[in-house]
Structure 1
């Protein structure tokens, strides 16, 4: 099997975290090739101009000219270290997130965290005097706000969940999340990446709000995911309707199907409650397998 075919198969078989990582890496490689090409052609500014059209601007007027950038910016990265740490965080904390929530919720939090980060970034640059005196419109890119949304969703929902860190040993997830947030807060006055740090805070706030509603049985990603589904359907080709006839009867009745589905969901709810009270390590092997299988459906 060719490498390209292996990548396609891995993308198709992989879960939502794997697919998000692949998309981010794919976009990074495309712009890396563009940077190399235009640099060789002695027009490096053209590569920056193209990238700027997919990066979210601080100027609302510029945003009106490229409204898609509030979505595309969260898949762009400045350099290798930028994407490396974002993808590592997405991989680590995305897997923890999926122990409590389903893949569609993770995808919703990824986008909503990115949108919250973009909103706080734009508002800050147009409200605070130290930031709004820019001579040319700043732009922002990166998945950091989206990843912070995922981190704080899991940390707020199960703050006592323990993460094992090298040299430090086990540490509660909430303490780790708060540590990341403090780093952003103390970095704001440096003005080296103020917009990015503000966006991180926006993503973290969205994550905490998502978790606060989830504890009460509410899912704020439902309407957003429905909106995204409708948006995606506008740009996808609808297959022609094909009517087929089969004499094969459905092996399971609707009543039995719904009963089995309800039974599986009750089991997952019980496992999640156990994690929340006793931690992931308290699960049996069968419970871990059930949770893993449910997160990949």
Structure 2
């Protein structure tokens, strides 16, 4: 398959799948190049991982986001990407790519901030100089967002069904238990992402999108890099005027009203209250975004 074919296949992926491809690619490059050229194993990673020391962070503020694209081993990246893929499928049945980006990257930022705060506030972490890598905070944000937005929705776990809120509580409790005995900095980041996901979901149920400002910021940043369209030189053209006024797209408006009604029903009664037809409609609408 040529480069054109690869670009085409990549363009067909949803935003979660694209993030998975990018993250896995970074993992491969970060491991392969130092091996081939006999570099220090962290020669690339050191510029992108998040330091706990505030002075070091001020020297590379971009690390508050870029740390999430680096992982410490195969198991680390495998489970993060697998969980992200699973919960993203549920997410896109309800929301579009922009909201996914909001929850995921705000979770990464929240996890990074709590990590740095923990190492500069709690005495247990004093005199320790740690660094943070991994997408776990963003993955936790997506997971807990879904668990909080559809708490009573059941999913199949091997031989039995379990409600999503059970999964959310179990994951958070395990992070708390493991903090004193394991990777404390990583657990702090997990909890930061989880907190963001929970707050985002509960506020959204009440009609408040706490990520709207972040979305506008990203749009404004994207606008800076878009090429301005060159105006074509003026010339006289003759064409037959279309006497028919443009007709509004009533079908699209009706679909949006139906989506809004279904989402309102979910917020009041839960996802399981939907009929099969409503679930199918949401699924198809998510695919079209």
Using the size of structure 2 for normalisation, the TM-score is 0.89
TM-aligned CA deviation for residue 18 of structure 1:
1.2
Q: Describe the SS at the equivalent of 2:151.
A: coil
2:144 aligned to which of 122, 144, 152: 152
Gaps of 5+ in 1: none
Distance in 2 of aligned mates of 1:252 and 1:110: 42
Q: Describe the SS at the equivalent of 1:270.
A: helix
Residues 1:88 and 2:75 are matched in the alignment: no
Alignment deviations for residues 116-139 of structure 1 (CA, whole Å, 9 cap, x no partner): 0000000000111111211xx311
Partner of 2:58: 64
2:156 aligned to which of 135, 144, 164: 164
TM-aligned CA deviation for residue 103 of structure 1:
1.5
Distance in 2 of aligned mates of 1:10 and 1:284: 31
Q: Describe the SS at the equivalent of 1:189.
A: coil
Distance in 1 of aligned mates of 2:226 and 2:188: 38
Residues 1:206 and 2:196 are matched in the alignment: yes
- Please say if residues 100 and 154 of structure 1, whose CA atoms lie closer than 8 Å, have aligned partners that are also in contact: no
TM-aligned CA deviation for residue 250 of structure 1:
11
Q: Describe the SS at the equivalent of 2:90.
A: helix
Gaps of 5+ in 2: none
Q: Describe the SS at the equivalent of 1:77.
A: coil
Partner of 2:227: 238
- Please say if residues 113 and 146 of structure 1, whose CA atoms lie closer than 8 Å, have aligned partners that are also in contact: yes
- Check 1:162–1:6 CA distance in 2 against 1; reply closer, same or farther (3 A cut): farther
Partner of 1:107: 101
Distance in 2 of aligned mates of 1:172 and 1:288: 20
Using the size of structure 1 for normalisation, the TM-score is 0.87
Higher mean C-alpha deviation, range 61-70 or range 275-284 = 275-284
- Please say if residues 103 and 296 of structure 1, whose CA atoms lie closer than 8 Å, have aligned partners that are also in contact: no
Residues 1:76 and 2:70 are matched in the alignment: yes
- Check 1:12–1:225 CA distance in 2 against 1; reply closer, same or farther (3 A cut): same
Partner of 1:174: 165
Q: Describe the SS at the equivalent of 2:161.
A: strand
Partner of 2:214: 224
TM-aligned CA deviation for residue 5 of structure 1:
3.9
TM-aligned CA deviation for residue 50 of structure 1:
2.2
Residues 1:130 and 2:124 are matched in the alignment: yes
Distance in 1 of aligned mates of 2:240 and 2:76: 56
- Check 1:237–1:106 CA distance in 2 against 1; reply closer, same or farther (3 A cut): closer
Higher mean C-alpha deviation, range 276-285 or range 178-187 = 276-285
- Please say if residues 145 and 200 of structure 2, whose CA atoms lie closer than 8 Å, have aligned partners that are also in contact: yes
- Check 1:240–1:270 CA distance in 2 against 1; reply closer, same or farther (3 A cut): closer
Distance in 2 of aligned mates of 1:8 and 1:153: 31
Distance in 2 of aligned mates of 1:100 and 1:51: 35
- Check 1:91–1:283 CA distance in 2 against 1; reply closer, same or farther (3 A cut): farther
- Please say if residues 151 and 270 of structure 2, whose CA atoms lie closer than 8 Å, have aligned partners that are also in contact: no
Partner of 2:258: 267
